[in-house]
Amino acid sequence: MTPPAAQPANAPQDDLQWIATFLDAQAADLGAARNTLLAYGRDLKDVASWLGHKNRAFGSASRDDIEAYLIACDAEGLARATRARRLSAIKQIYRFAFDEGWRSDNPAIQIKGPGRQKALPKTLEVIEVDRLLDAARQSGRNLSDRLRNTCMMELLYATGMRVSELVGLPVAAARGDPRMLLVLGKGGKERMVPLSPPARDALAAWLTTRDTAEEAAVAKGAAPSRFLFPSRGKSGHLTRHRFYLLIKEFAVAGGLPPEAVSPHTLRHAFATHLLTNGADLRAIQALLGHADIATTEIYTHVLDAQLSELVLEHHPLARRDTGSDQPLQQDDDGPTE
């Protein structure tokens, strides 16, 4: 068993202090997104709790301790992606601790994780997207709700934005009938995304209604909102959770299974439909705001599946032209009818 390392005098003495200092640095130095910080915090608190029950802490844990924690996560039945994410958080905090001189070693540096399954993203056919957009146009308590719903769905499909980017859009970005929107993505990185004519029309219609309602609210003493989709909630804008529920409502109204539709599904549809129609993978990477082209390449698998299906359905060698539409059957001696 690897002995625990001695903790330098300058290291925080409490695991929660380790986590808090680490998260502060991630936010200040790397501009980590709030959701990323929340995920790191949850995972690292789970690690700290497990270590505490073993009379260990971040400052004294060994490689064997960390591997034992990962084995316990596996025994608990946690998904491979969850275990990989927790190991990533552990590696990040120990890399930070080593750089800060809190530890003279990095006990997690050589631990290999379970990896992540490369599941193909769930997407939608063009006709299914059309049904969602039609449902959004007709869903809402009043005209204002319907215009807002239409605008959000048109923008989401036209740009491939993440839902957090969509609901947090500042109204200033939408002024002046823009052909492109400036989007603030993960890590504070900005990118430009073009707007389709339907999205621009929906945006203009919503802005007129939004501004009228805003003027009436300000006249009554309310503070003006800086968001394109304002809300009276704590965030000041429509929340991700609220939009998640809305898109489920649109799915039901459009005759689609709600479990197959989410804001991220529409992002996948945006990328898949662009690729299917000949868009360059690097251009799609820039539009989606992916830091690594490898993240975008998963969409090529969707295209590969579509191309394979196309060949099987339409290539003359995939069928025997005998007046029958039955495909060839394979046996031990070769293809037969």
Q: Which sequence positions are flagged as catalytic?
A: 162, 186, 264, 267, 290, 299
Distance CA 61, CA 108 (A): 10
Across the chain, how many H-helices and E-strands are there?
Answer: 13, 4
Distance CA 58, CA 7 (A): 9
For residue 181, what is the enclosing H or E element? strand 180-184
**CA 109 to each of CA 16, 22, 29, 93, 105: distance values in angstroms, whole numbers, following the listed order:** 22, 17, 22, 11, 9
Asked whether 49 and 86 are in contact (CB, 8 A), the reply is no
Q: Burial of 15 by CB count in 10 Å (0-12 exposed, 13-18 middle, 19+ buried)?
A: buried
Q: Would you say the C-alpha torsion 179, 230, 246, 134 has a positive or negative sign?
A: negative
Chain position carrying tokens 């990118």: 191
Distance CA 49, CA 72 (A): 13
Distance CA 73, CA 247 (A): 34
Bridge partners, 181 (sequence order): 193
Bridge partners, 199 (sequence order): none
Asked whether 70 and 112 are in contact (CB, 8 A), the reply is no
Report residue 113 as tokens.
């994780």
Bridge partners, 193 (sequence order): 181
For the chain, the farthest-separated pair of C-alpha atoms sits apart, in whole angstroms, at 84
Report residue 61 as tokens.
């844990």
Q: Is 168 helix (H, G, I), strand (E, B) or coil?
A: coil
How open is the CA angle 240-35-76, to the nearest 5 degrees? Answer: 105
